[in-house]
Amino acid sequence: MTLCRTRRADPTALLVRSAPAVPTAAVLLLHGGRAEGPEPPPALNLPALRMRPFAGAVTRAVRGRGVLVAEVRYRHRGWNGARADAARDAEAALGRLREQAGPVPVVLLGHSMGGRAALRVAGDPAVRGVVALAPWCPADEPVDHLGGRRLYLLHDETDRVTSARQSWEFVRRAREAGADAAGIPMPTGGHAMLRGADLWHRRAAELTAALLSHG
């Protein structure tokens, strides 16, 4: 495991879970957060910890394929309205991936706010597709930049934090914009994806590996 940190003046960081000598592709994981939270994330960051098993599952699913697997570290705890801090950090993280891995195809795997951030920056030329877990998809979330992207939105319809109905509506709008988008109902897990966690980990890893094989 290699920890790649930036200078204190620019604290966006990547935690690299798997770094092959010559990467052929990359997976960037984006954890969840709050609607409002201008303060930095705490040292014990539960949303980030929730993504660790997904990082492990993805690493196993792509073993031997030269895939760099990394997690984003946000400068702020929340989305923070029009600032869209998580999306800005996701964009910066894509730039750092280019610096480290070169112009390789990237799959974004995000949960909740991280799912929204992944979908927001998926127009980047390097992004091949997105796997969004219980994503936060407000009704006015833009979709026009998603043409040609493959998107998988996974949601348990009993989720009381983010709305599965809004995820399915986002899928519909993304398709109209030219995306190859699919909504995948999950049988359990709620928002935290704790119940039936193995299924969430396995399905996310399988879809991520499939996106890396596509195209």
CATH number at residue 45: 3.40.50.1820
Are 164 and 142 contacting, i.e. CB atoms less than 8 angstroms apart?
A: no
What residues make up the domain containing 28? 2-213
> How many domains, in total, are found in the chain?
1
DSSP3 helix / strand / coil % (the chain, rounded to 5):
35, 25, 40
* Length of the chain counted residue by residue: 215
The pLDDT tens digits for 157-201 are 999 999 999 999 999 999 999 999 999 999 999 999 999 999 999
Query: What does pLDDT average to over the chain?
Result: 92
The pTM is what? 0.93
Tokens 């998107």 -> residue? 151
Q: Which amino acid is at 188?
A: T
Q: What is the pLDDT of residues 26-78, one digit of tens each?
A: 999 999 999 999 999 988 899 999 999 999 999 999 999 999 999 998 999 99
Reported as a single tens digit per residue, the pLDDT across 121-154 is 999 999 999 999 999 999 999 999 999 999 999 9
